[in-house]
Amino acid sequence: MDVQIEASWKKYLAPVFSEPFFQQLVLHIKTEKQAGKIIYPSGKDIFAAFEHTPFDQVKVVILGQDPYHGPGQAHGLSFSVPSGVKPPPSLVNIFKELHKDVGMPIPTTGNLIPWAKQGVLLLNASLTVRANEPGSHAAIGWLTFTDYVIDLLVKEKQGVVFMLWGRFAREKAAKIPSYRHLVLEAAHPSPFSADKGFFGCKHFSKTNQWLVQQGQDPINWSLT
């Protein structure tokens, strides 16, 4: 199956695209669309995280669960929304923690593409979702695909920072050897849990300290 994805990722992921589970995944999405279901993000944005952050440039992974399931919000990057779209509550809390951690002014945009361009892979565990139905595509094969992506990064790269927020993301920690990578765990930035360990986690400054120790450029978290 010829999937349109950034070239460096395609080199590594091509075998997966030929797997029966992935072909069934694509068929499932096509069937839902033919039945009139609205799927987010749009087709051109499903692999946007990979387009903006080529494999060789990945320094940090921020793992989300689902794309946003409301109109106009999802554009293929975890926690990010397109320019001009009001930042959702979880993203607002991320910005609050950034402000407290590194003194960054609260951004006026929720578009995180500038992070992605610096090597922050904004990866959702499921790359699609039905409108207004969170978790609706969690069981169609995406988790197998994104687990493969995580395993690939763990094995092929060294010194990647994995930010794992919330129970779902933190379950991935067992897959990531701490002697090769930095694993940062915290509560989810959702308003329901941010005060249970996300606020005060200082993951952004810890990430940059690690990158500098690894001889890499720190991330400029500013979006202005």
Could you give the CA distance from residue 191 to residue 183 in angstroms, rounded to a whole number?
23
User: Would you call 184 helix, strand, or coil by DSSP?
Assistant: strand
On the CB side of 145, how many CA atoms lie within 13 Å of its CA?
A: 30
Beta partners for residue 123, in sequence order? 63
Q: Which of 66, 147, 151, 195 is catalytic?
A: 66
Alpha carbon of 183 to those of 13, 27, 121: distances in Å?
A: 24, 35, 14
Catalytic residue check, 66: yes
On the CB side of 28, how many CA atoms lie within 13 Å of its CA?
A: 16
How many residues are given for the chain? Answer: 224
Could you give the CA distance from residue 118 to residue 116 in angstroms, rounded to a whole number?
5
Alpha carbon of 27 to those of 38, 114, 137, 145: distances in Å?
A: 15, 33, 13, 15
Q: Which residues are catalytic?
A: 66
